[in-house]
Structure 1
């Protein structure tokens, strides 16, 4: 498998660094991967393979650090961002992460993507005491500082998201008979466990549960099985490629259940449009970020800033791809975390700063959703709002719902 490497690096004078408040930082203290002029950050992303639509996240993060470096870097240091292709293959993830840690000697791993891929390096990163920070997966396991103090999530956890879907089904679908399509790995199991918990004593409403492997060419046979089961609700726990296939197939065979789609596959450009807008009407999901296709944000200041940034740093990119909003937003949090480290750029201090956010606003979160962490709470974002697909975009409804995982 070809390994892609994306790296941005610059130099800057090692003059005295002064904080935004005008107060000079204290004595410099660095760990591996940091110098007077550079902070070396590693990343893995599936630029190839069955989950390659997520590669848009890595490309956005690339562009973000490029824009930061052009503006002078972070406290005078440029970010050297090294992103390697793992093809969404856990063995490949292990290989490239070892390369990043042991050869490139990165300061931290940021936004490595995928539940199975991060699971494969979870123990290794903690044994090495290298931050595995703001991982690009909502599995609930990333919020376990007692056992894994070097790993922290970012987005709302899958388990709680699925609990919310379960409660919505029970409240809104009479005599619900639930069919579930699930990716056969920790990503799928985390969502499925949440769905079962949310249903509680009504868990027997799940009448059919089918899985797929990420390497399967289609999920057509699984969708046919779900229709044949008599299910009136379809919970689609799939990555973007398979999610789009499943929505389209359901329409092709005339199956019209109430549909729930997991947040990681809500991109209009990567999922809903390929599935067919006509086939996607009424699908429900949970959001925590502003969606660029939702016209209610057209005059929003954060959306205007993001659009201008995209025009300058990612010209030609499809703004309907929610992965670009995601990559930009999580990068702003990492930017702030590094900034707060000042001249104490140690891995321990990086994790300390990551675990010290209180009611902090980062761009493109939905109104009312803030970042909160602590030494015992490694779930930065703990709230969502339901949305329904209508026309060619998502439409939010209801109130902000806060996670139960905190």
Structure 2
């Protein structure tokens, strides 16, 4: 298994003794002993904190290979750095398809990035599975027939839940939203519009940022000046931490919601200042390994054993490792279901026919389901609130559909 950063190749070597299956088909990326899959990740650049996801997924398939692989084949996940730059995502994806001849693209990070490669992959008939983005548009079967969203709740659904909660607390709530100026951020705006309807323009003040901006201080000052009593932060970790800290510094204390892609304590809440984040609400669909509730949970124990053996230096507080574990388990399920028929058609058939799949690190009650007319594996979440030390879940599972 290889993890590539630019021109460097880091080898995750394992000698796996397996029975060689009978293999006479000619499927892209598949031999009698190997299944090659590919992805791009931001191992460098402004959101390099998300690169942990790729590292965790590489480690997951190292574990799978150590256990004998999938139906007698080793999984070779080739993970390339795209620096979170869509043109580089396209370049690296072409390399994966045309040089490495992968069978599928798995868990590529980023909304704009997956959008940029979608038509190319459709033209090459390469599945685009378990996308590392919660953009609801990837559930549009007409536009993305070969794609399935990742093991995460859609951003648009998440925003709907925040809007409904705020209106339950205050029917006259005025909203301020900080969002990244791309499809990731626009999904949160769309979710707000879904709930507020024709009142959106009167009740929402929006500010955006570019991933190349040094800070978002001026945007937070502008949003406070709007008089809003509710703030939604739809930002990646660096800017989410800045937003929380700046709001605290200027003594602005609105009811605050934080996108669940930026709830990491080590890379967001601690840099922002733990006291500054007290009371912030977000949503969860995975188990937080730091939550005492999962101390004796078999799934959490399985994950801890994986981390101890395959990512011993990884920060167990970073839930990107949890997401990587769930994503890897979902793809493993699909590939095992394929048997020896690893044609594009069968890979897609199995990816779009998942029934009540339970993953070790999903919250109890959340199961993975897909169908030919439903490419959204997860549609439920649970609210959680930051205490200054950890996130505490509250309420029942919620659906934003």
Once the two structures are superposed, the pairs formed by residues 188-207 of structure 1 within 5 Å of their partners are 188-204=185-201, 206-207=203-204
Counterpart of 1:85 (choices 81, 103, 107) is 81
Q: Deviations over 1:220-279 (max 9, x none)?
A: 111111112222111101011100110011111111111001111111222112111100
Structure 1 segment 104-253 matched on structure 2, within 5 A: 104-154=100-150, 155-173=152-170, 175-204=172-201, 206-253=203-250
Summarize the Cα distance change of 1:267–1:98 in structure 2 as closer, same or farther, 3 Å threshold: same
1:74 and 2:70 matched: yes
Match of 1:23 in 2: none
Residues 319-371 of structure 1: per-residue CA shift (max 9 Å, x gap): 11111101111110011111111100111111110111111111111111000
Name the structure 1 match of 2:276: 279
Shift of 1:306: 0.8
Q: Mean Cα displacement is larger for which, 259-268 or 204-213?
A: 204-213
Cα 1:355–1:40 shift into 2, 3 Å:
same
Measure how far apart 1:120 and its partner are.
0.8
Paired residues in the alignment total 396
The 3 A distance-change label for structure 1 pair 286 and 14 is closer
Unpaired runs of 5+ residues, structure 1, are 18-25
- Match of 1:400, SS state, is strand
Match of residue 103 from structure 1: 99
The equivalent of 2:337 in structure 1 is 340
Question: Are residues 188 and 223 of structure 1, via their aligned partners in 2, closer, same or farther at CA, if it must alter by over 3 Å?
Answer: same
* 2:369 equivalent among 347, 369, 372: 372
> Within 1, Cα distance between the matches of 2:19 and 2:379?
40
> For residue 378 of structure 2, what is the aligned residue in structure 1?
381
Q: Is this contact kept in 2: 1:8–1:65, CA < 8 A?
A: no
Identify the range of structure 1 (239-248 vs 390-399) with the bigger mean alpha-carbon deviation: 390-399
Per-residue deviation, 1:184: 0.3
Deviation of 1:204 (Å): 3.9
CA distance in structure 2 between the partners assigned to 1:284 and 1:177 by the alignment? 17
Q: Deviations over 1:51-94 (max 9, x none)?
A: 10000001101111111111111111111111000000001101
CA separation in 2, counterparts of 1:11 and 1:348?
31
Are 2:391 and 1:394 aligned?
Answer: yes
Structure-2 separation of matches of 1:298 and 1:391: 20
Q: Tell me the CA shift for residue 29 of structure 1.
A: 3.5
Deviation at 1:10, TM superposition (A): 5.7
* Residue 312 of structure 2 corresponds to residue 315 of structure 1: yes
Give the TM-score of the pair, scaled to structure 2: 0.95
Q: Against the structure 1 CA distance between its residues 81 and 27, is the aligned structure 2 distance closer, same or farther, given a 3 Å change threshold?
A: closer
Structure 2 partner of 1:43:
39
